[in-house]
């Protein structure tokens, strides 16, 4: 149980010491390694009306971090996400976005026996899985990371 759960109201918070408040887990894409994840996927719509597929990840367990110097960059409770835009703004197919989305959905489709994208997507709600994650620096935005999940095993 987290320390924060014991803080039931604002008065309790005001009476708490700094040690009574949980530290913030690391934020963003964790380093290259192997993780037990809680995964949820959804169909979303942006404020501008374009639709995309969003995968949300919660680290339940850090099984291995490839570079021990980065071990502090990953922790249980850490959240990160990825979005896939299968169509461009002009409505044409985004080949890269479509292919990457398919790659992410395939293990779930096989696990659930759902051949259709929509059927598979609706099944991915708080699904436990173990996966290897490879983190790489974004070429366009310094300090931002992208990632690829490999060897996804649904539990």
CB contact set of 124 (below 8 Å; sequence gap of 6+): 39, 40, 41, 55, 108
Can you name the residues that pair with 52 across neighbouring β-strands? 44
Q: For residue range 5-53, what is the model confidence (pLDDT) as tens digits?
A: 677 888 888 888 888 887 777 788 999 999 999 999 999 998 888 899 9
What's CA 2's distance to the chain center, in Å?
Answer: 21
Distance CA 130, CA 127 (A): 10
Structure tokens of 118? Answer: 């929509």
Mean pLDDT over residues 53-62, rounded? 97
What tokens does 97 get? Answer: 């976005």
Q: Are strands 127-137 and 51-65 parallel, antiparallel or unpaired?
A: unpaired
Of 144, 135, 138, 148, nearest to 55 (Cα)? 148
Which of 33-42, 45-54, 76-85, 102-111 shows the lowest mean pLDDT across its residues?
45-54
pTM flag (> 0.75):
yes
Q: Per-residue pLDDT averaged across 111-140, rounded?
A: 95
90's tokens: 């002009």
């Amino acid at each position: 149980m987290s320390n924060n759960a014991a803080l039931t109201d604002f008065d309790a918070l005001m009476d708490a010491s700094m040690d009574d408040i949980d530290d913030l887990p690391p934020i963003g894409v964790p380093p290259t390694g192997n993780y037990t994840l809680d995964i949820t996927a959804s169909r979303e719509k942006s404020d501008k009306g374009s639709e995309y597929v969003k995968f949300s990840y919660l680290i339940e367990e850090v099984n291995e971090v490839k570079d021990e110097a980065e071990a502090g960059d990953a922790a249980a409770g850490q959240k990160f996400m990825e979005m896939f835009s299968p169509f461009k703004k002009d409505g044409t197919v985004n080949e890269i976005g479509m292919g990457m989305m398919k790659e992410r959905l395939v293990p779930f489709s096989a696990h659930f026996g759902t051949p259709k994208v929509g059927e598979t997507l609706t099944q991915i709600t708080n699904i436990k899985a173990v996966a290897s994650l490879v983190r790489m620096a974004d070429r366009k935005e310094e300090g931002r990371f992208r990632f690829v999940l490999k060897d996804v095993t649904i539990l």
